[in-house]
Homo-oligomer: A and B are copies of this chain.
Amino acid sequence: MNQASRPGRGGRPAQISADQITAAAIEVLDREGLEALTMRRIGAHLGVAAMSLYRHVPNRDAILARVVNHLFATALAGLDAGPTWTGALTAFAAAYRRMLLEHPNAVPLLATHPVDPDTAVPVLAVLLERFDAAGVGQEEALIRIQSVGVYTLGHALAQVGTRGAAEGADAGAAQDGADAEYYQRWFDAGLQALVTGFEHRGATR
């Protein structure tokens, strides 16, 4: 059997765990880029052969999913959502965006692999609460949160998910500076538009 061996009895003790694989994958991803994220390279990073990874993870795609969920969860853990739903939304967007810019090579992954519900729900719960307190219905609240989410991710794709992403992580790693400012201005403008747009939508309903 693969994976999640109950403590059961006996057996050779594991040198690596699924969590270590996830962490190693993120490191390889950040340092060497997305297409360096191979089973052999992750294994090497852990001092283990590629095939050994399969004892802890069913396939490569599961590693990618784990990376996505881990980045999302840690980026939004302990999100300070403030008292209002507007504040909660912008705090969510800012935390999400910060993670995306810190892990530019992961942006295409986030775009391609949905965050697991089990990972997303705790984050959403905090946000939903603020909407509920403001009397906004659950579907409407979800729509507003997810709209901000896809906007933030889409924006990050435009900023970093494309371009070199693969180089050596040093080729133009620190974006032009002027460029970075423009993207930030753009991001803030769009986010503000979304939030105030939703405010008015609430008012006229």
Residues of chain A at the chain B interface (Cβ within 8 Å): 108, 111-114, 139-140, 143-144, 146-147, 149-155, 157-158, 161-163, 182, 185-186, 189-190, 192-198, 200-201
Report how far A147 CA is from B113 CA in the complex, Å.
22
The residue of chain B having its C-beta at the shortest distance from the C-beta of A189 within the complex is B143
A193 and B186 form a contact (CB under 8 A): no
Contact A194-B194, Cβ < 8 Å, known A143-B186, A151-B150: yes
Q: Give Cα distance in the complex from A144 to B188, angstroms.
A: 11
Note all chain B residues with C-beta closer than 8 A to A161: 111-112
CA distance A77 to B21 in the complex (A): 46
Interface of A is mostly: helix
Number of copies: 2
**A193 vs B149: C-alpha distance when bound (angstroms):** 14
The 8 closest A-B pairs by CB, nearest first: A193-B197, A154-B154, A150-B154, A197-B197, A147-B190, A114-B162, A111-B111, A196-B197
The reply to whether A147 and B197 contact each other, CB–CB distance below 8 Å, is no
Q: Which residues of B sit under 8 angstroms from A186, Cβ to Cβ?
A: 143, 146-147
- Closest residue of chain B to A196 (Cβ to Cβ) is B197
Residue in chain B with minimal CB distance to A190: B147
Which listed residue, B111, B140, B194, B201, touches A157 by the CB 8 Å rule?
B111
**A-B contact list, 20 entries, CB within 8 Å:** A112-B157, A112-B161, A112-B162, A113-B162, A114-B162, A114-B163, A143-B190, A144-B189, A150-B154, A150-B158, A151-B154, A151-B194, A154-B157, A189-B201, A192-B201, A193-B193, A193-B194, A193-B200, A196-B197, A197-B200
Separation in Å of the A108 CB from the closest CB of chain B?
Answer: 5
Assembly CA distance A20 to B186 (angstroms): 37
